[in-house]
Structure formats: structure tokens, C-alpha cells
Amino acid sequence: MARLSIVLFLLLVVPMACRRCSLPSVVGLLISGIVIGYHGLRIIPESPTVSNFMADVGKLMLMMFAGIEIDHSLFKRIWKRSLLFGGLTFTLPFLTGVIIGFLFGYYWVAALLIGSLLASHTLLGFPITQKMGISRSDPVVITTGATVFTDVGSLLVLAVCLEIHKSGFSASSVAIQLVLLLIYVPLVVIGIGRLGNWLLSRFKAAEEQQFSLVLFLMILAAFGAEIIHLEPIVGAFMIGLAIGPVAKRAIGFEKLEFLGLNLFTPFFYLNIGFQIDLKVFARTMLDNAPLVIAVVGGLIASKFIAAFLVQRIYRFSRQEGLLIWSLSLPQVAATLAAALVAYNTVNDQGEHLISMSVLNTVIVLMVVTAFLGPMLTDRSSAKIVRSSRKTQ
């Protein structure tokens, strides 16, 4: 109970302190997680079961809320823009990672895996856009929609690389994964989504049933994604996208959203801090400085180029382009999870798919982008809000 009391105290105090210091609460929560985590003051154990569970739920809720926040009429109008940005912010970092892999002497499967680790992004800054009131703006919707394309693409590459490393290349395994994906997406968006919308409409007078139903649908979609070797956040986002219009009008969902944004999602950010070992961070920076600089610099540059191209193509303002870039920067939970899976994948010769130096570099990448992304999102969002107020 003492640990829970400390965590709840931080969830109460840290966001208020960050607002006073004009810092995103995400940054404060990450720092707090590092301080009280196993690699800091050791208040939290090395494998905090309860915290990991809360963080997993928070990660799913974060993605589901991102899907629900998308205005369907707006998304229908700009889905092609999301597809374009998704393609750019996947392809450019992916190719950058592959080139870095080859330059540092990794064989082609490991190089492809490194590319896939840079290709996705986590919407750490999305709650900031919600609080600023711009979460339904074109730049945010485009970036949020692009998450589906980047996550599915990177995780598909991961699944293929794992299979090749363990048992060699097989065209049939790749084909099977694609078929499963083509079955899963319509099943969630059309099948489970329509069922959820119908049930939410039937339960409109029962808040507790609406609350439980939305939570159940999220877990069901995430579990389905896991079955076919996709990251569960993909399923959570898709179910959010499917039930969004009805969920926004559900009183039970409003209470679930309040609980998620103020408890589970902050737990997710704290839990990231728990995993960061500053000693490993510093040692990796020193021992593998060229690789770290190449990976971190390559990601930041390639994500910026992708956002800049979309900004110029669709004539967004400079701040809107920076907002798109900042939202697509963070490489957090999904990237670290994929890297851990890749490192733990060993072939018949006892060789890991990626080395420990790559795994440590991913940790450095996670720390840098987890801090940089939300800070830039907060700054660009504030400037956009101020600019819109001046023009009104």
C-alpha cells in the first residue's frame, strides 16, 4: 500500500508541478518513474506486476482514445493524407535504419529489423493535443491515422524477420501473415465495430454496461491482434476508430475516458520511467556513441523530412508541420517491446537477432524521443492555439 500511495501522490502532484513549470506532464511522469524505479531509489521492484498491468491497460486506452477522437467525416476527407504521411514516416526511417544496420556490419535480416524499429511511433503527445483542444485538427488526425500504417508495417516486418532468423526465409509464412492481416482488419472495424455500436445504442440508459462494454471491446480487439502476432495497440486503435461516433455520446464512455486519462495512461508513462537504467543509458552513450548518434540522429532527421514533405504538399503552417513531426517522434513501448523480442530471438547457432548494443541503443532512443517529442508537441500546440485565437 505504501508504494501505491507514493504513485498516486505523484499522479496528483507531478502534473500540477509541470503546469507551473510549463512542461508537459508526460516529461514529469517519466522523470518520476526513473527516480522511484528499480534503477533509481528502488521504491518500485524490478518486475512490478501491478504497475505493468496498469501500464498495459493505459497503453491500450491511449490508442483507443486516439482512434475514438478521430472525426469520421474529417478522416474520410483526409484518409489519403494519413496514408501518404504514414507511407513517408514509415519508409524514410525504415530505409535509414536499414542503411545504418549495413554500415555497422549487421547482416541483412538484422538491418531490416533495425529499420522496422525506427519506422513506427507512439502517440505520447496526443493527450497534450486533447488538453489544448486541437486533437481533431487536420495535422493531429493525419498523424494519428498514420499510426495504423506505421505500426502495422513495422510489426509485419518484425514478424517476418523473427521467422527468417529462427527457421530461414519462407514465402508461405509471409503470405499467411498477410492473409491473417487482411482478415483481421475488416473483422475488427466492420464486425466487432458494428456489434459494439449496436450494443452501445441499446445500453444508452445503463452507464455501467457502456463502461464495461467499451473496455471489453478494447481488450477483445487487442487480444485478436496478439493472436496474429501484431502489437495489441493496433487492435485498440482500430476498435476506437470503429466505435468512435457512438462512444462519444455514451455517458459510460465519458467515465472510462476520465479514468483512463487520469489513472491508467499516467501509469503507462511512469512505467516507462521504471524501465530506464541511467547507468545503462550513460554506458551505451560512451561505448556505442557512433551507433547511438546514427540511430537517434537518423530517426529525428527522417521523421522531420517526412513531416516537412507533408507540410509542403498540403500547405500546412510551419507550426502545424512541427506538430506532425513532434507527434511522430516518440519511440517508446512498442519499439522497446519489439527490440526485446528481437534480442531474445535466437537461431540454431545461438545467435541473437540483434546485439545487446542495438538493444541499449533503442533504450537511448526511447529516452531521447520520449522527452523530446512531448516537449515539442506542447510548444507547437501552444503556438497553434495562440495563433488561432489571434485570427478569431
- Give the start-to-end residue ranges of the domains of the chain: 23-42+49-383
Q: What is the pLDDT of residues 109-160, one digit of tens each?
A: 899 999 999 998 888 888 889 888 888 888 998 998 888 788 778 877 887 7
Residue 64 has pLDDT above 90, yes or no: no
- pLDDT digits 0-9 by tens, 88-98: 999 999 999 99
Residue pLDDT, tens place only, 350-366? 788 888 888 888 888 88
Closest CA to 139 of 122, 126, 152: 126
Q: What value does the mean pLDDT of the chain take?
A: 85
Predicted TM-score (pTM) above 0.95: no
Which cell is 230 given? 501484431
Record the cell numbers describing residue 370, joined without a space: 520520449
For 329, phi then psi, to 5°, come to: -75, -50
- pLDDT, position 137: 87
**Segment (H or E) for 238:** helix 232-247
Angle made by CA atoms 27, 338, 235, in degrees to the nearest 5? 85
Residue 204 has pLDDT above 80, yes or no: no
Terminal Cα distance for the chain, rounded: 50
Range 23-42+49-383 classified under CATH 1.20.1530.20: yes
| The pLDDT of residue 205 is above 70 | no
Q: Indicate if the pLDDT at residue 333 is higher than 70.
A: no
